[in-house]
Every structure is written in C-alpha cells, then in structure tokens.
Amino acid sequence: MDRALLLVALACYLAPLLSRDDGRLRVLAARWWVPAGILLHVQGLALAFILDSVPLRSMTEGLGLTALTVMLAREWFGRRPRMGLLRRILLALASVLLGLAAVAPSPEGAGAPPSIFFLLHIGLVLTGFAAFALTFSMSALFLVVRRRLKSKDLSEIGRLPSLDTLDVLVIRTMAFGFACLTAGIAGGLALGLITEGKPPALDFTTIVTTLLWLWYAAGLVARVAAGWRGRLVAVFGVGGFVAFMVVAGVGLALSGWHGMGA
C-alpha cells in the first residue's frame, strides 16, 4: 500500500516533466498534481514508517524521505525569481529518488526498537544527502547557464538564475549538507558506542558515507583555502553526487543500509 502511494506520487511528479512546454496539462500538473503528489508522498512515507517496525530502516523510507526533502526544497527555492529551470531539475531528481524508493527491496525480519540516537543519525545523514542532491542540482544548472552564455545562446537571458547566485547557493547547500552529514556520522558513532560499546563496523554504507563526507570536505576546503569557485565547484558538486548515486545505488541495492537489505 505504501509503495502504491509512492508510485502514484511519482506519476504526479512526472506529469509536468513529460507534458509539452506550452500544454494545458503542464499548467494543471504544476498547479495541482505536484502538490497532490507531495501529499501522497507524505502519506506513503507515513504508512511505511507505521508498517515498518524500525522507521527509516529500509531504503524505501530513506530514499523516499530524501526525495521528499528535495521536493520541499524545490518549493522553497522555487519561490525565487528566475528559478523555473531549477524547479524542473529538482523535480526530475526527486522523481528519480522516489522511483528508486518505490522499487527498492524491503528489509527482512524485525529490527531492534528505534532509539532517539538512531533516528537522529539516520535523519541527519539523509538530510545531508538531500542537501548534496540540491548541490548537484544547483551545480548542474550553473553549468547549463554557463554553457549557454559561453556559446552565445542568449535566448533565455533574464529567465535563468544568475551564475553568482547559483555559485553562492552551491556553496551554501554544500556547507549545510556537510554539517548535517558530519553530525549524522558522529551520531552513528555515538549510537554504536552506546548500544554495542564499540564503533560500528566498516560496512558498505559506512565506507560510502565516509567517502562522500571526505569528498565534500575537500570541496569546502578548496573553496575556502584555494578560492575555488564557479565552474570548478560546480563540476565538483555534479561529479561527487553522480559518483555517489552510482556507487551507492548499486551497493545499497545489493546490501541495504548497513547490510540490512535484501
């Protein structure tokens, strides 16, 4: 039932992406279907949390929550002027994440009852992932706008966000994601020490998350110390997230969060 709701939400998200630019369907979809999709998305996740003995244990819940955060960020950033293209990129990204969430395998067996540290750890890490997804989107948009300017495709001038605005947003979302991920990893360590008396074992999830943390730490250091900005940072933001999605997508599909997968 929860997956069915998420799939219907996905259909609502895809409608404006697949309809014609000037089509009536697109206007209707943007006005009604996307908000309806967000509502169904929330309901599907809530149902998944209720049905699962350990909330946020499954990939469906984790990716679904990340997709929902991206959608909420879309509504937030979308209010700014000239952000139409960013809204579409974020909608596409949330759709991909939600699609993966809807088809991800379910964990088997009952888990231990959740503690506040567990929820904090997962919540912060997922928020960090969502922030990096935003970094990716802003970076991608930066590269699109830059390419258009450099290739003298000036037909959309005045309708796209400015490069400097995007550059600032890339760094802010990257810094926010990094802070969340750092706190989430620290929470995971604390959780391991409290529940098992030792740090968590190095499994696939731990390694990927740590690599991601190192990647963005390097990006922030490069920005602050070496003054990286513009294209360099944008390529960094896109590259890191794409690599993470490929590696994590394959790995997590096989093993689930911390080996709790199929």
Partner 1 sequence: MSRALVAVGLSHHTAPVDVREKLAPQPGAVLGLLTELQDLGIGREAVLLSTCNRVELYAVPGPGHDAEAVARWLAERHGLSARRTLPYLYQHRDDAAIRHLFRVTSSLDSMVLGEPQIVGQVRDAYKLAREHRATGPVMHRIMDHALLVAKRVRSETRIALETVSIGRAGVELARQVLGGLEGRAALLIGAGEHGRVVARSLLDYGLTELAVANRTFSRGAEVAREFGAAAVPLDEAGRYLERVDIVLTSTSAGRILLDRAQLSQVSRRRRFRSLVLIDLAVPRNIDPAIDQVDGCYRFDIDDLRQVAETGKAARLEAARDAERIVDEEAERAWQWLANAELNASIGAMARHAEQIRRDELARAAAVLEQLDPDARARVEAMTKAIVKKILHAPIRTARTLAADGDRHGLDVLVGALGPGDAAPASEPPPEGAHDDDPRLDADGEDGAA
- How far, in Å, CA of 162 to CA of 83, rounded? 10
Rounded to whole angstroms, the Cα distance separating 215 from 178 reads 10
Tokens of 62: 């984790």
242 binds partner 1, rule: CB under 8 A: no
| Contact residue for partner 1 among 21, 79, 109, 158 (CB under 8 A) | 158
Q: Mask 202-241, x = binds partner 1 (CB under 8 A)? A: ------------------------xxxxxxx---------
Residues 13-72 touching partner 1, rule: CB under 8 A, are none
Smallest gap from Cβ 93 to partner 1, in A, equals 24
Q: Contact with partner 1 (CB under 8 A): which of 1, 149, 193, 194?
A: 149
The three-class DSSP label of residue 53 is coil
**Candidate ranges 40-48, 91-99, 101-109, 142-150; the one touching partner 1 (CB under 8 A):** 142-150
User: Looking at 29-37, 109-117, 143-151, 240-248, which segment touches partner 1 (CB under 8 A)?
Assistant: 143-151
In the bound state with partner 1, the residue whose beta carbon lies nearer, of 116 and 155, is: 155
Size of the site for partner 1 (CB under 8 A): 21
Q: How far apart are CA 90 and CA 73, in angstroms?
A: 8
C-beta neighbour count of 168 within 10 angstroms: 13
Report the amino acid identity of residue 106: S
Decide: 166 and 91 in contact? Cβ < 8 Å.
Answer: no
Task: Please report, for residues 135, 212, 247, the alpha-carbon distance to residue 237 in angstroms, rounded to integers and kept in the order given.
Answer: 6, 11, 16
Q: Which residues make up the interface to partner 1 (CB under 8 A)?
A: 145, 149-150, 152, 154-155, 157-158, 160, 162-165, 167, 226-232
